[in-house]
Structure formats: C-alpha cells, structure tokens
Amino acid sequence: MAEFFNQFSRRKFIFTAGASASAVLLKGCLGNPPETTGGTQTAPTAEAAANVSAEQAPEVTKVNLGYIPIVEAAPLIIAKEKGFFAKYGMTNVELAKQASWGAARDNVEIGSAGGGIDGGQWQMPMPHLITEGLITKGNKPIPMYVLCQLITHGNGIAIANKHQGSGIGLELAKAKAIFSKLKASPTPFTAAQTFPAVNQDFWIRYWLAAGGIDPDADIKLLTVPSAQTVANMKTGTMDAFSTGDPWPFRIVKDKIGYMAALTAEIWKNHPEEYLAMRADWVDQHPKATKALLKGIMEAQQWCDNFDNRKEMSEIVAQRAYFNVPVDVLLDPFMGKYDMGEGRQIDDRSMAALYWKDEKGSVSYPYKSHDLWFITESVRWGFLPKDYIENNAAKAKALIDKVNREDIWKEAAKEAGIAAADIPASTSRGVEEFFDGAKFDPENPEAYLKSLQIKKVSV
Ligand code: CA
C-alpha cells in the first residue's frame, strides 16, 4: 500500500517539502506589515486558569501547535489572543508558524520533544496519510487524531487576467474550446495547488472535472508555493490556481487575475481544514486535549459573531501571525468578494465560517467528511481502490482510528455547549455539489461510478 502511494505521489511530496517556503514568500508578496493595533491581546491570567475544576484541570499547560498563516488558522490564534485557551487552563500554548505543509508534516513527525509540534492545522486527509505512514520519512506510521474542524469556505479558484471574458467561470461549458486549443499548443493550460492530494488539489480537480476538463490529461497541474504561483500568473505562465483568503482579494485588487469560483460555490458548507494532533500526545493528555478543544470552540463562536470580525482581522493580520494589511482580510471575512469580471458576492453565508453553517456544526468533525476525502483520494489514484471496496471497510477502519469525534463531544458537553449544537450522527448525510453530483457516505462507490472523469476504474 505504501509502495502504491509512493509510486503516485511521493516524488511530488518530496518536491513540495524541499521547494516550498510558501509562508515566507507569502509574507514578502502580501506587502507591508499592518499598523499594530494595540489592545487586542488578552493576557492569560492565573484567575482564568483557577476557574477550571480540579476534575477537568489539564495534565500540562504547555503544547506546541503548528499553523499556516491563512484564514483557516483564525480559531487557534483567537483562542490564544483572547485568552480562551488560558480560561480552560492551557496557559502556555505556543503557536508555531509553519513555512509550508511539508514543514508541518516534518515537524509533527518529530513532535515537540524533538523541537517540532504536537499537532495543529491540517489539510485533509493529511492526518490519515501521516497515520498510515504514506507521506512520512521512511514511511513511518505516526498515529494522529482528528479532533475538530477549524473552518468551512475561504478558498477559491483564481484565473489569470488574460482569460477574462473567455467563459472560464464556475461553469466551463463555454470555455471548452480554449482548453482544447491550449492542449494542442506547446503551452497547455497550466494550473497549481500548494500541496498534492489534499483540499486545494481536490477543489481545483473537482471544478475542472465537473466542467468536462480532465485535470490529469487536458491541462498541466503542478504543486507550486502560492507566492511563486502569483508571480508566474503576473508574467503569464500560470493560468489558474487553487487558493485561500486573502489571495482572492489581492489577485483581483492587483489586477493579476479574477476568481472563477469560491469553494462555497463548488460545494456550499464543505469540509475544509482541521485540528489534528499526535495520538500519543492526546492519549497522554486527555484533559489537556479537551481543554484545548474547549478553548477552540469558544474561539470559533467568537469568530462567527460578525460584530467581532473587524477585531479578528486586526488580530490575525499582526506581524506575528499573517503579517498582512488588515484591509485585505476584512471584506472576505464579511462575505464580500470582488470576483473580478464585474462579479460581486455579498453573502455572509459564503464567508469563512468557524462554528456553524447552514448545515449545522462546522466545528464537529463528521466522519462522513473524512470518507469523502478518502473517496476523492481514490478517485484520483492517490490511494488504492481497496479503501472504498466492500462498502469502504478499509477507509472506515482508518477513519475510526483517526477521527476522535467522541473527544469533541465530551469537550462540548464539559463546555456547556447546547445539546442542539452537538450532532447526533457521525454522518452529515448526502452531500450535493454545484454540478448536481451527490456523495452518499453510505455508498461511496456509487459516487465514484457517477463521475465521468476519474483515474480509478469502478
Ligand atoms: Ca484551505
């Protein structure tokens, strides 16, 4: 199995880990550091920690969590800065900015004892791939637990300006001829994501395939750090890329490109990035794990109050975190997207959401969403077909090992979350995409069969 995965992806992963310093480049490209706002930090207090009952007191107060400076990380930053971690006794949470997804993987492999991290923010299904030893050094399995979802929405597909008016939008029916023409030319349509076989790769693949374009045969799809992609888009050698806020804002504002689609349009209320930690850390520190979760849940509720979004923008924009001007964050956080080509979106239900969306809980990690990520990995040949055979028995066994929604529920109860906000089922049920495709978690094979463009034969 490891060999199978290697055959398809290890080279790409190594390339990413070696070549990418996207966070560092991102800083440089996004411009000047913001004005420091002052007064936004709430110092963790001893009083706050003293509110924790002896029964729920964490075994340790210190933990190292990795994050990538994009909107998905906001609940971690807010939990620290607004004192929500400290309130539950986690007075010494260190948030470590990761230079790339490859660096985050390498740092969780060594753990905080080796100078790395105990867990943090992940694209999916990285925790499952790390658990299986499919993307680690020497294919060493490092068991991990998925503990909560951090966010939905906040990502999209950017297209180079030269394609304005060409019909490349959410739907691609009118743009087929352009793709065919470029495919036959020496310079095929070139697109990028920032790490292979995870969310942003899946979003651009889904969107292309739904429009009748095979991402493996009709275009060139590469792994490139964000800032490099933007530079290439400026010089005309990159046609599209899959990216998160605040890039969509910058790309349109700087007249580099326009937005074909938000992920909120491709799959409204879709699963995005998650908190996952090393299983050994969680097993040794069950109370501290729940304290972290309680802090994050409170932060997610705070983040979803739109009255707080200006302050949230000011906090995450700071030099220590995203290091970007506040104004590139605020509009998208309010659900206002200038998509370019004269298209405006002003809809809070399509903004980055952290606690609740129209489908219910954002924070709760549905096992049915893990299953979609595994199924999509099978679709594109990143994982072998046996994961979804026999009613996905192998995928479900892996998900049962990795997804610890039971810990989320215990933490939610301890935090006094209303019963109505604690999902009763580990499945969110049938999901529907913009092109009408449906994913029934009870029958992932039927979903794969229904799709025209795929690598797997089912
Ligand atoms: Ca993302």
| Reduced DSSP (H G I as helix, E B as strand, rest coil) percent helix, strand, coil of the chain, to 5 | 45, 15, 35
Compute, in angstroms, the gap from residue 378 CA to the centroid of ligand 1: 20
* Domain layout of the chain by residue ranges: 31-151+273-303+359-365+403-426, 155-264, 367-401+428-458
Compute, in angstroms, the gap from residue 60 CA to the centroid of ligand 1: 30
Instruction: Name the E strands within 347-439.
Output: 356-357, 360-361, 431-432, 438-439
**pLDDT averaged per 10 residues in sequence order, the chain, 458 residues:** 43 35 33 35 49 91 96 98 98 96 96 97 98 96 98 96 95 94 94 94 98 97 86 92 86 93 98 98 98 98 98 97 94 96 96 98 98 98 97 98 98 97 98 98 98 97
For 133-157, how does the pLDDT look when each residue is reduced to its tens digit (9 = 90+)? 999 999 999 999 999 999 999 999 9
Compute, in angstroms, the gap from residue 49 CA to the centroid of ligand 1: 32
Domains 31-151+273-303+359-365+403-426 and 155-264 equal at CATH topology level: yes
Compute, in angstroms, the gap from residue 45 CA to the centroid of ligand 1: 33
Helices (H), 274-350: 279-284, 286-303, 309-317, 327-333
Please choose, from the candidates 223, 243, 229, the residue with its C-alpha nearest in 3D space to the C-alpha of residue 15: 223
Compute, in angstroms, the gap from residue 243 CA to the centroid of ligand 1: 7
Torsion angle of the four alpha carbons 290, 71, 402, 443, in this order, in degrees rounded to the nearest 10: 130
Tokens 């923010």 correspond to 121
For 25-71, how does the pLDDT look when each residue is reduced to its tens digit (9 = 90+)? 333 333 333 333 333 444 444 445 557 899 999 999 999 999 999 99
> Which CATH fold topology does 31-151+273-303+359-365+403-426 show?
D-Maltodextrin-Binding Protein; domain 2 (3.40.190)
Q: What is the pLDDT of residue 49?
A: 57
Phi, psi of 85 (to 5 degrees): -65, -45
Determine if residue 302 is left, alpha or beta; phi over 0 gives left, psi from -120 to 50 gives alpha, anything else beta: alpha
Compute, in angstroms, the gap from residue 64 CA to the centroid of ligand 1: 21
Compute, in angstroms, the gap from residue 124 CA to the centroid of ligand 1: 9
Compute, in angstroms, the gap from residue 206 CA to the centroid of ligand 1: 15
Helices (H) and strands (E) in the chain, counts: 21, 16
Instruction: Please list all protein residues whose beta carbon sits less than 5 angstroms from ligand 1, which is an ion.
Output: 155, 199, 244
Dist CA 139 CA 142 (whole Å): 9
Please choose, from the candidates 331, 221, 310, 401, the residue with its C-alpha nearest in 3D space to the C-alpha of residue 393: 401
Dist CA 191 CA 423 (whole Å): 38
Query: Domain 155-264 is classified in which CATH homologous superfamily?
Result: Periplasmic binding protein-like II (3.40.190.10)
What's the DSSP call for residue 38?
-
Compute, in angstroms, the gap from residue 234 CA to the centroid of ligand 1: 22
Q: What is the pLDDT of residue 48?
A: 53
pTM for the model stands at 0.90
Q: What is the pLDDT of residue 50?
A: 55
